[in-house]
Structure formats: C-alpha cells, structure tokens
Amino acid sequence: MTLIRSLRVPRKLFTLFVLLAVIGSCSFELSARGKRSRGRSASRSSRHSRASRSSRRDRRGRSSRRMSKRELRAERQRLAREQSAYVAKLQKRAGRKLSKRELAAEIRKFQSKHRRDLLEASRRAEAARQAAIARQRAIDDAMRNEVQANIAKDSTEGEDLEVRKAAVAALGFHAGTVVVMDPRSGRVYTVVNQEWALRHGFKPCSTIKLVTGIAGICERVIQPIETVSDGANYRIDLTDALAYSNNAYFQHVGGEVGFDKMLSYARELGLGEKTGINYANESPGRVPSFKTGYAVNHMSSHGDDFEVTAIQLAALVSAMSNGGKLVMPHVPRTVEENAHFKTEVRRKINVSNEAWVRMVPGMIGAVNYGSGKKAYRPEQTVAGKTGTCIGQGSWLGLFTSYAPVVNPRLAVVVITRGTDAHGHLPAAVAGNIYRTLSPRFGMPINFQVAQGDDDEVETPTRNKKAAALNEEAAETRAQAEAEEKAAETTDNANANKTAGNAEQVQANQPQPNQAQPTQAQPTQAQPNNDAKAAQATTPENKSKVKATSLPLENKPKAPANPTTQTKPNPADPDGRARRTQPEQP
C-alpha cells in the first residue's frame, strides 16, 4: 500500500510537468505568430507607403495615368496569348508534350523575361523623355540667345528709353518681341527685338478671332441678341466666345461669312500689307490664297496660312481702340519731329462704330476672367486677346491689347516662342508693362488686391463654365501631350534600331568573348535652373493678400507700400469685375 502511494506522486508530478510544457509551447507559438503577423503588416504598410511615395514622385515627374479595366483586360489577354504561343513553340521544338515541372519552369522563365522587357521599355521611355526635354531646352536656349543678340542690335534712336526699359525688363530672358505704341497718334514708343517684330511673320493663332468677330458683326452673322450652344451645357454669345477664346463659335461664324469676305476684312484691317513704319525691310506678312469647306472654319479660329507681324497687330488693335482709324506707326527720329509729332492715317476702315463697341466687352472679359487674365491690372481696364498654337516649328504665344479702354494711351503687343509660350506668358509680360508704366500713362495705384492662393493657376474645377468654353487651353494641352508622345515614339524607335544593330554586330563577331561591344548609355540633361525659375514661382508666405506685381524671370519683386486696403466682394474673391451669365441646361 505504501509502495502504490509512493508511485502516484511522481506520476502526478510528471503529468503536471507535461501539461505545463504543452501550455508554454502553445503560448510561445501564439506570441510568435502575432509577432510575425505584426511584422508582415508593418512590412506591407511600409511597402505601401514606399509605393505611394514613389507613385506620387512619378505623378509629379511625368503625366502618367492608370489603365482602364478594358485596357487591363486586353493586356492580360495579350500576355496569355504570347505565353501560349511560347509554350506551343517549345513543345513543337521538343517534339513532345512538356511535363508539369518543365511547363512551370518555362512559364517562370517567360514571366521573368516579360518583367525584364517591361523594365527595359520603361527605361527607354524615360531616356526618350529626358532626351526630348534636353532637345527642347537646347532649342529654347538657342532662341533665347538669338533674341538677346537681336535686342543688342536694336536701333534705339528716337525710342522712349523709359518705355523700352520697362518692356525689356518685362520680357526678361524669354524668346519674344514687344511693341508699345500710342493707339491714337501712331507714335511708336519702343520695339524690342526689331528683327522679329518687323521682319518675321508669325501665325496669328486665336488673335485672328478679332477679324472673324468684326466680319461676323458686319455681315449680320452675329446678331445683336444671339446665343449659340457649345454642344454641351452652356450657351455663349460673342462676349463669352472672345473671353474664353471658344473655337467652335468662331468656326461657325467664319463658315457663315465665307472665305472671300473673311479675306476682304483681313486686308481692310491691315493684314497682308506693310504698315509703313519708318524701319527698313518691313515684312508685309501673308494671307491665304484660297480655302474651301472646313478649312475656312478652321482658318477663322486658328489663323491657318496667315502670317502677321507684331507691328501689324499693334496697328490693328489701335484701330479697334480709336474708332477705326488705321494709323501709320512712326518713330520720331529728331527733336523737332518729337516736339511736333504728326499723326498719319492710312485709311478709315469701313466698319461701323457699333462693331467696334460690341467687340470691347469680350476683350475686357478675356483679361478680367478669361484666357488673358494674367494681364489683369486693377488700376486700369485692359482690353486684349490671347493666341496660342504651334507655328513656325515651335509653340507660339501672342497677346494684343490696349489700355485704358476709355481714352486709350498704350497699345501693347507681345509675341513669344518656345515651351513657355503656351502658358499665356505674353499676357503676363504685357500686364507687367502696364503696371510699370501706369504712373505715367494710367491712373497711379498704391494698394494691394486680395487674391486667392491659386489665383494664377489654371484650376478648371473652380469654374466649370470656363473649363468647358476655353477650347484654346484644351487644344493646347492636347497638342502638348501629342508632341511629347511623338517625341518619345521617335526616340524609342531609334533606340530599338540602335539596339538591333548592336546585337547584329555582336552576333557576327568571330570571338565574342574577347571583344564585347560597349553600349552607349543615354545621358540625362541637367535641369536648367533659369527655366525652372521662370516656370514656377513660389510664394513667400501663406497670406491671402498678394502684391499686384507679377514676378517674372530676372525681374525682382517690387516692394509694396500699402496705404489703402480694399474690401473684397464675397461674390468675387479676387476683386475682379466678372461677367455672370446663368447656366442653361
């Protein structure tokens, strides 16, 4: 009995030890599994954060978009077909059906090759993009250097040096030309880059809509009270069409007017002939010889086959401001001529005063809330028209304007070329000229205007109507994307051709181990700090109040001395006069 009791004690102790060991192992396994799951979730979150950061960097670096479901489905189907064709080719070469292990190995090899091909294609596309950017920067730098050389050769005899200094400072290191003149007398204050302004013709782009509008009013195509549907949710009239530079409206008007009448009004307004300015070798520009069908419509909104000079646009907009007198631009060369300046009128344009009056609200709207709002000046009302397109092998930007609307004192025309031309840079240059010369030619101002943080940034969501009607900006973005894609396609084709030639040469070599061809690595162009500074301006603070001056490249920001502060209208957060129109379904 004593022996049985003595055996029970170690048995119970052993059982208790086994239970404790099982419980301890289970708890240890659960804790380890929790740590592994936490580690996996942390790694997933870190990978997700890294991926999101890289995707954000990619989105900032280039305009990438996500593939749609249809595109993803088509891509998967194409990959599956290629994989099936690859397996069938292997089986045909082997003369038998592959085993499961061989099939899995070949599929892994095919997928690995596909991933390598995708990475190589991405690398080539990025190299092509960088090469296209480098080429465009080289072209822009060449044009800027040409402009600076032309400005150094300009003849400043008889010019107003104060006006010339303001125009040169506003243009900065951009490739362009500036003309400033008196729209009433025809006196030319300055011509910056006289080679481009007088002897080079440029495509007028959307500035031809001024001619189309005058022709439409005179031929009764544009009725006194009229609205035209834009094909979407808005109905527009002449004022909105000019303000937002709507192409469809003016294409309809030009088609109704006809080619012969359009050409007649263009010649009447001074296009296709010399202005008579007292400079040598002035270019007469060019007008199209014949067009029919839809070509007439497109010409009426884009200025196809027209060539205008900056001095011609200055004479045209001066005639619109002075009631139809086509004055002869003239630079006084002597002191006596300057003291007794005589206005010479080439002819009185055969256009009713009603036509000039009806064009003014749209030109004011273009500057106040439309495509030329970078020229907006709170001290005086500016009337102008923008133009942006591709011509003469590069981007063109035009802005023709006069101010003030009542008793105009200045007519300013700016034409720029290069990649920065399609950002309405000419309007900003003209606005800076008006601001600098305002104490002399306009009403002096010395206060700050309340503006939003993104006042100068194109935000279509802020104004759905502007986004729907501003077809010029939409076409500009589409053409820029198409140009970039075409450049990338060309560079990819050249890279593929070069790679194929290198492989062929390597295959024809008798001893590949001794002589290996070296592949040229694409070089990436270093970013141009001046170009970056010109394209992006960083505000110094987060304040809702900005100075009225618009900083440009090589132009220091003028200090503001606020004396009077205006109270912004809650309906108009930026203080601008806006033309409202009820939206119609």
> Per-residue pLDDT tens for 351-395?
999 999 999 999 999 999 998 999 998 878 999 999 999 888 889
Residue 330 lies in a domain: yes
Residue 12 lies in a domain: no
Q: How many domains does the chain divide into?
A: 1
Q: What percent of the chain has pLDDT over 90?
A: 45
Reading the block at residue 48, the tokens are 């997700």
Segment 465-487, tens digit of pLDDT: 555 556 666 666 666 666 666 65
Segment 72-115, tens digit of pLDDT: 888 888 888 988 888 888 888 888 888 888 888 988 988 898 89
Segment 526-564, tens digit of pLDDT: 444 443 433 443 333 433 333 433 333 444 444 444 444
Q: 164 or 453, which is more confident? A: 164
- State residue 416's pLDDT score: 95
Please report, for residues 193, 209, 468, the alpha-carbon distance to residue 238 in angstroms, rounded to integers and kept in the order given. Answer: 34, 11, 16
Helices (H) and strands (E) in the chain, counts: 17, 12
Output the domain CATH number for residue 255.
3.40.710.10
Residue 232 lies in a domain: yes
Give the confidence band of 446 by pLDDT, cuts at 50, 70, 90. Answer: very low
Q: 194 or 475, which is more confident? A: 194
- State residue 388's pLDDT score: 92
- pLDDT, average across residues 410-426: 90
- pLDDT, average across residues 502-513: 42
Reading the block at residue 64, the tokens are 């990438």
- State residue 518's pLDDT score: 38
Q: Strand order of the sheet with strand 447-450?
A: 545-546, 447-450, 564-565
pLDDT at 505 over 50: no
- State residue 469's pLDDT score: 58
Residue 243 lies in a domain: yes
Q: 397 pairs with which residues across the strands? A: 388, 416
Give the confidence band of 450 by pLDDT, cuts at 50, 70, 90. Answer: very low
- State residue 392's pLDDT score: 82
- pLDDT, average across residues 326-338: 92
Residue 406 lies in a domain: yes
Q: Whole-number mean pLDDT of the chain?
A: 77
Residue 42 lies in a domain: no
131 Cβ contact list (under 8 Å, min separation 6): 491, 522, 525
Residue 494 lies in a domain: no
Segment 392-406, tens digit of pLDDT: 888 999 999 999 998
- State residue 18's pLDDT score: 78
pLDDT at 136 over 60: yes
- State residue 60's pLDDT score: 46
Q: Which of 458, 338, 445, 435 is nearest to 388 (CA)?
A: 458
42 CB burial (10 A radius; 0-12, 13-18, 19+)? exposed
Please report, for residues 125, 482, 497, the alpha-carbon distance to residue 486 in angstroms, rounded to integers and kept in the order given. Answer: 12, 6, 17
Q: 145 or 569, which is more confident? A: 145
- pLDDT, average across residues 64-79: 82
- pLDDT, average across residues 1-26: 71
- State residue 39's pLDDT score: 56
DSSP string across 308-348: B-HHHHHHHHHHHHTTSEEEPPB---SHHHHHT----EEEE
DSSP string across 517-580: PPPPPPPPPPP-HHHHHHH----SS--SEE-S----TT-PPPPP---EE----TTSTT------
Domain of 236 in residue numbering reads as 154-478
Instruction: Decide if 364 contacts 405 (C-beta within 8 A).
Output: yes
- State residue 387's pLDDT score: 93
- pLDDT, average across residues 301-307: 94
- State residue 17's pLDDT score: 77
Give the confidence band of 223 by pLDDT, cuts at 50, 70, 90. Answer: confident
Residue 366 lies in a domain: yes
Give the confidence band of 214 by pLDDT, cuts at 50, 70, 90. Answer: very high
Helix axes 247-257, 294-302, angle to 10 degrees: 130
- State residue 519's pLDDT score: 39
Q: What percent of the chain has pLDDT over 70?
A: 66
- State residue 12's pLDDT score: 77
Please report, for residues 43, 44, 55, the alpha-carbon distance to residue 50 in angstroms, rounded to integers and kept in the order given. Answer: 10, 10, 8
pLDDT at 445 over 60: no
